[in-house]
Protein backbone atom coordinates (compact mmCIF):
# COMPACT_ATOMS: atom_id res chain seq x y z
CA UNK A 1 0.00 0.00 0.00
CA UNK A 2 2.56 2.58 1.04
CA UNK A 3 5.03 3.93 -1.44
CA UNK A 4 7.81 6.46 -1.08
CA UNK A 5 8.76 8.07 2.18
CA UNK A 6 7.60 11.61 1.46
CA UNK A 7 9.02 13.25 4.55
CA UNK A 8 10.00 12.87 8.16
CA UNK A 9 8.72 15.69 10.37
CA UNK A 10 10.76 16.76 13.37
CA UNK A 11 9.31 19.09 15.98
CA UNK A 12 11.97 21.50 17.20
CA UNK A 13 11.94 24.07 20.02
CA UNK A 14 14.38 26.37 18.18
CA UNK A 15 13.84 26.54 14.43
CA UNK A 16 16.87 28.72 13.75
CA UNK A 17 19.20 26.42 15.68
CA UNK A 18 17.76 23.33 13.97
CA UNK A 19 18.12 24.95 10.53
CA UNK A 20 21.74 25.79 11.28
CA UNK A 21 22.43 22.22 12.39
CA UNK A 22 21.08 20.70 9.18
CA UNK A 23 22.60 23.40 6.94
CA UNK A 24 25.99 24.01 8.55
CA UNK A 25 26.80 20.85 10.51
CA UNK A 26 25.20 18.29 8.21
CA UNK A 27 25.58 20.20 4.93
CA UNK A 28 22.00 19.81 3.70
CA UNK A 29 19.98 22.17 1.53
CA UNK A 30 17.65 24.02 3.90
CA UNK A 31 14.79 26.37 2.98
CA UNK A 32 13.83 29.60 4.65
CA UNK A 33 11.08 29.24 7.26
CA UNK A 34 7.56 29.03 5.79
CA UNK A 35 4.55 29.96 7.93
CA UNK A 36 1.58 27.61 7.46
CA UNK A 37 -1.04 29.29 9.66
CA UNK A 38 -3.82 26.91 8.63
CA UNK A 39 -1.68 24.06 10.00
CA UNK A 40 -0.41 25.90 13.06
CA UNK A 41 3.26 25.46 12.20
CA UNK A 42 6.25 27.22 10.79
CA UNK A 43 8.20 24.78 8.63
CA UNK A 44 11.72 24.57 7.31
CA UNK A 45 12.19 22.06 4.49
CA UNK A 46 15.43 20.08 4.36
CA UNK A 47 15.93 18.57 0.90
CA UNK A 48 17.77 15.28 0.73
CA UNK A 49 18.53 13.23 -2.39
CA UNK A 50 15.84 10.63 -1.61
CA UNK A 51 13.36 12.39 0.65
CA UNK A 52 13.01 15.48 2.80
CA UNK A 53 12.75 16.50 6.39
CA UNK A 54 10.36 19.05 7.74
CA UNK A 55 11.43 20.95 10.82
CA UNK A 56 8.23 22.01 12.58
CA UNK A 57 7.82 24.81 15.08
CA UNK A 58 4.51 25.87 16.67
CA UNK A 59 2.72 28.85 15.13
CA UNK A 60 -0.23 30.43 16.89
CA UNK A 61 -2.34 29.37 19.86
CA UNK A 62 -3.65 25.96 18.84
CA UNK A 63 -0.63 24.44 17.23
CA UNK A 64 -0.96 20.67 16.83
CA UNK A 65 2.67 20.25 17.87
CA UNK A 66 2.58 22.37 21.05
CA UNK A 67 1.62 19.42 23.26
CA UNK A 68 4.28 17.25 21.65
CA UNK A 69 6.97 19.83 22.40
CA UNK A 70 5.66 20.22 25.94
CA UNK A 71 6.30 16.49 26.41
CA UNK A 72 9.51 16.42 24.39
CA UNK A 73 11.18 19.64 25.35
CA UNK A 74 14.31 18.98 23.33
CA UNK A 75 12.32 18.19 20.19
CA UNK A 76 11.93 14.86 18.43
CA UNK A 77 10.53 12.98 15.47
CA UNK A 78 6.84 13.91 15.23
CA UNK A 79 5.65 11.83 12.27
CA UNK A 80 6.62 10.08 9.07
CA UNK A 81 4.71 10.56 5.84
CA UNK A 82 4.29 7.82 3.25
CA UNK A 83 2.81 8.27 -0.20
CA UNK A 84 -0.21 6.27 -1.34
CA UNK A 85 -1.89 6.15 -4.76
CA UNK A 86 -5.48 6.32 -3.52
CA UNK A 87 -6.05 7.74 -0.06
CA UNK A 88 -9.70 6.67 0.20
CA UNK A 89 -8.85 3.09 -0.68
CA UNK A 90 -5.92 3.16 1.75
CA UNK A 91 -8.16 4.55 4.48
CA UNK A 92 -10.82 1.90 3.92
CA UNK A 93 -8.25 -0.91 4.04
CA UNK A 94 -6.67 0.49 7.20
CA UNK A 95 -9.99 0.98 8.98
CA UNK A 96 -11.12 -2.53 8.00
CA UNK A 97 -7.87 -3.74 9.58
CA UNK A 98 -8.69 -1.95 12.83
CA UNK A 99 -6.35 1.01 12.51
CA UNK A 100 -7.57 4.29 13.96
CA UNK A 101 -7.62 7.29 11.67
CA UNK A 102 -7.36 10.63 13.46
CA UNK A 103 -9.67 13.59 13.00
CA UNK A 104 -12.87 11.87 11.88
CA UNK A 105 -11.37 9.80 9.09
CA UNK A 106 -11.92 12.13 6.17
CA UNK A 107 -8.81 13.21 4.24
CA UNK A 108 -7.95 16.88 4.47
CA UNK A 109 -5.60 19.02 2.49
CA UNK A 110 -2.14 18.85 4.02
CA UNK A 111 0.87 21.13 4.03
CA UNK A 112 1.68 20.31 0.38
CA UNK A 113 -1.79 20.90 -1.02
CA UNK A 114 -2.57 17.18 -1.26
CA UNK A 115 -5.04 15.03 0.68
CA UNK A 116 -3.62 13.53 3.86
CA UNK A 117 -4.69 11.41 6.82
CA UNK A 118 -3.01 10.74 10.13
CA UNK A 119 -2.99 7.31 11.78
CA UNK A 120 -2.97 6.72 15.51
CA UNK A 121 0.56 6.14 16.86
CA UNK A 122 -0.65 3.37 19.20
CA UNK A 123 -1.59 1.31 16.18
CA UNK A 124 1.83 1.88 14.58
CA UNK A 125 4.31 1.03 17.30
CA UNK A 126 4.58 4.51 18.75
CA UNK A 127 4.94 6.44 15.50
CA UNK A 128 2.39 8.92 14.19
CA UNK A 129 1.95 8.08 10.49
CA UNK A 130 0.77 10.47 7.81
CA UNK A 131 -0.35 9.14 4.45
CA UNK A 132 -0.50 11.49 1.49
CA UNK A 133 -2.06 10.90 -1.89
CA UNK A 134 0.89 11.56 -4.18
CO1 LIG B 1 3.73 15.84 7.41
Does an H or E element contain 94, and which?
A: helix 87-96
- How far is the centre of ligand 1, averaged over its atoms, from the C-alpha of 53 (Å)? 9
Q: In this model, does residue 112 exceed pLDDT 90?
A: no
**Euclidean distance between the first and final Cα of the chain, in Å?**
12
Q: What is the pLDDT of residues 114-129, one digit of tens each?
A: 999 999 999 999 999 9
User: For the residues of 26-89, what is the DSSP string, one character each?
Assistant: S--EEPPPEEEGGGTEEEEEEE-SS-EEEEEEE-STT-TTHHHHHHSTT-EEEEEEEEES-HHH
Residue spans of the domains in the chain: they are: 2-133
Q: Which CATH class is domain 2-133?
A: alpha beta
CA distance 85 to 2: 8
List the catalytic residue out of 16, 61, 83, 130: 130
Known catalytic membership, residue 61:
no
Going by pLDDT thresholds of 50, 70 and 90, the confidence category of residue 34 is: very high
- How far is the centre of ligand 1, averaged over its atoms, from the C-alpha of 97 (Å)? 23
Amino acid sequence: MIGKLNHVAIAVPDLEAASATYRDTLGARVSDPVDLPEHGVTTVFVDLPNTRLELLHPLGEDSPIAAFLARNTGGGIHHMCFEVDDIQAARDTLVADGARVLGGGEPRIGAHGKPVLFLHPRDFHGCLIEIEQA
